[in-house]
A = this chain, B = another copy of it.
Amino acid sequence: MYQLLLPDLQLMLAENDEQGMREFCEALFPAASAEILLEVSPEEAWRVLSLCDIQRLVEIFAYFSLPFQVELVHLMDRTHLSRLLEEMAPDDRVDLLERLDPDHVESILPLVAQAERADIRKLLSYPENSAGSIMTTEYASLPKDITVKEAFERLRRQAPDRETIYYIYITDDQRHLIGFLTMRKLILARPEQKLSEIMTREVISVRVDEDQEKVARDIDKYGFLAIPVVDDSNRLVGIVTHDDATDILEDEAEEDQQRLAAVEPLEDSYLSTSMMTLARKRGVWLFFLLGASVLTAWVLQFFEAGESDSWLIMFLPLVLASGGNAGSQSAALVIAALAREHFTLKGGDALKILNRELLLSSMLGATVGMVSFTAAWLLTDEMRPAIVVSSTVFLVVVMASVAGAALPILVHSLHVDPAYMSTPLIAALVDVIGVIIYFNVAFLVFGQYPPFEM
C-alpha cells in the first residue's frame, strides 16, 4: 500500500532533495520505508539511508532481506557500519556477519565497541542451524529475591534494549535459569510480593546446541513469545523469539518444497540467486535423474520395444505417468505428515500408513484402470490391449503409491530429510519398474511379446 509513495521518493532522489529524504526516514513506519526502498537500487537506497538518524537506520535496516543488507554494507562508510553493528539486534547482526567475507568481518570488528565484539565472536562460534546461532542475548532477566515493585523499576531500565520484556527469566548469581514470569503475571501480582513467590519454577528451555527447527517447533507448539536457551550447566545464554521461529518454519517449508521438486535448497530468494548457483543446485539433480532414465532405456532395450505393436508404445507414457502421479501424491502427503506432525516413527504408524496406501491405491488404481481400459479400447478398437493397459495402470498405481509412502519413511528412519524423495525421483523409479511390469503383463496376456514370438 505504501508503493504509492515510490514516485515521490524517486523525485527526491532525482532532485537530490536531502531534506525530503530525511523526512522520508522519519515520517513512515520503518517497515514501510523499507518496503519502498527495496524498489530502488541499493545505491539509491543508501543515499537515502545515509541521511537517516542512526536509530531509524537500524530499524529500517532490520526489515531488509539478508542479500540486500549485504549489498548495503558494501556501500557504507566505516563510521556508519560500526554504529549499525553496535545497534543491531545480536541475532540479526550475526546472521549478517555470517554472510560477509570472513576477512571483511575481521577488518570491521575493531570498529565495534568491546562489549559487542565479545558478543559477536561468541554468537559466531555456535554451529550453523543451532539454537545458539539464532538466539539473541538481549533478554530480560531478574534475581528471585526482589519484589514485584522493584522488578518493574529494573524492567523500566532494561526495556529500551531488550528484544522482549514480556517474558522475564529469573536467574541466580551464576546465571542459572531457576524460574520464569510473564509480564501479565507481574501485573496481576501485588507490589510487595517477592518474585520467588510468583514465578514458575518448571521452565521449558532448549539447549544451545539444539537444532533450530526443533526450537522453532517448540515455540510454535507451546504458543510462546520466546524460549530460553541454556548451556550444559543450565545457565541462561539467550532467547529465541517467536518472529525468528516463524522465519525458520517458513524457510524449512520452502526448503522442503524445493527438495520435493528436485532442487537443492537455495539460500536466497529465487530472483536474488545467481545463475551459476541456480544451475548448480538444479543441475546436480537433473544429472542424477538422467542416470535413472538411462537405466529405464537400458531396461527397455531388453524388451525390444521397437519391434512391439504400435499400441504398446502408444500407452507407454500413459502407464508411466499414472504411476508417477500416484507416487508423487503419496510421497508428498507422507513427507508432510513426517515433517509437520512431529511424527515419531514407531513400527505401528509406519505399518498403518503403508496399509492405508495399499488399500487406497487399490481403489484409485482400479478406477483409474477402468477409465484407461475404456480409453485404450476406444483408441485401439481391441480388447486385449485394453486389458494390458488397464491391468498395468492398476499395478503401477499401487506400486508407486506404496513406494511413494515407504521411501520417505525409510530415509526418515535413517535420519535423512524425507523431502529428498522428490516427485521426479519417485517418477524415475516408477519408470524403471513400470516398464518391467508393462511388458510382463503384455507377455502374460498375449503369451508372447506382441507381435513377435519369444
Contact = CB atoms under 8 A, between A and B. Distances in A.
Interface of A: 3, 29, 31, 63, 152, 155-156, 159-160, 165-166, 183-184, 187-188, 202, 204, 220-223, 225, 242-243, 245-246, 249-250, 253-254, 256-258, 260-263, 266, 269-271, 275, 278-279, 282-283, 285-287, 289-290, 292-294, 296-298, 300-301, 304-318, 320-322, 324-326, 328-329, 331-334, 336-337, 340-341, 344, 349, 352-353, 356, 359-360, 363-364, 367-368, 371-372, 375-376, 379, 397, 423-424, 427-428, 431, 435
Contacts of A160: 188
Contact of A314 (B297, B320, B326, B359): B297
A155 to B, nearest CB: 6
Contacts of A287: 367-368, 371
Contacts of A428: 321
Contact of A188 (B159, B278, B286): B159
Contact of A258 (B325, B333, B375): B333
A262 B256 CA distance: 16
B318 A320 contact: no
A248 to B, nearest CB: 11
B333 A318 contact: no
B257 A260 contact: yes
Contact of A334 (B270, B309, B326, B332): B270
A260 B297 contact: no
A184 B165 contact: yes
Contacts of A397: 286
A188 to B, nearest CB: 5
B316 A313 contact: yes
Nearest to A271: B337
A134 B146 CA distance: 40
A376 to B, nearest CB: 8
Contact of A317 (B204, B304, B320): B320
Contacts of A282: 326, 329, 360, 364
Nearest to A363: B279
A164 to B, nearest CB: 8
A417 B325 CA distance: 20
Given A220-B243, A290-B371, A313 B306 contact: yes
Contacts of A254: 253, 336, 340
B257 A321 contact: no
B435 A271 contact: no
A333 B331 CA distance: 19
Given A364-B279, A364-B283, A294 B431 contact: no
Given A293-B317, A297-B314, A187 B202 contact: no
Given A336-B254, A435-B317, A187 B165 contact: yes
Contact of A286 (B260, B311, B312, B326): B326
